[in-house]
Amino acid sequence: MTDGKLPAPMDINLERQMRRLYKLSIYRRWLFIVSCWLSLGLFGLWGLRESIALGLEHFTWALVRYSVIFSPIPSLCVGFCVSVTVAALVWQSRNILFGFSPQHRKRLEVQVMKIRTMGKRHPLWKQVCQ
């Protein structure tokens, strides 16, 4: 702002479409997380049911280690579901608290412009541009 020029006002329509695309990405992300929990998570929890029951009575870190070593597939399933959930929560919290980074904002803008140029042929056009 040292040259005395004000930044060009952003297209209000573009801003609204970027918000819609961001909301759509949140919905898709949480749909993926719920489907992971309903498939992999339930499989993993079912495989670890005996360890969980024992852990509810007498929790020790040795029990956690034993469960991971002797039930690796269910442990990986539950670990994947937990890590994806935590990653989504951190990502969404960062966006709520600090706003979008300039790179993320530019990425959304490029995606919206790509959707606009393809028009009705793009699968997200109806949700984003109408």
**CB within 8 A of 68, min separation 6: which ones?**
75
The mean of the pLDDT values for the chain is 90
Q: Answer whether residue 4 shows pLDDT above 50.
A: no
Residue-wise pLDDT tens digits, 18-31: 999 999 999 999 99
pTM above 0.85, yes or no: no
Q: In this predicted structure, what is the pLDDT of residue 10?
A: 62
Helix and strand totals (H; E) in the chain: 7, 0
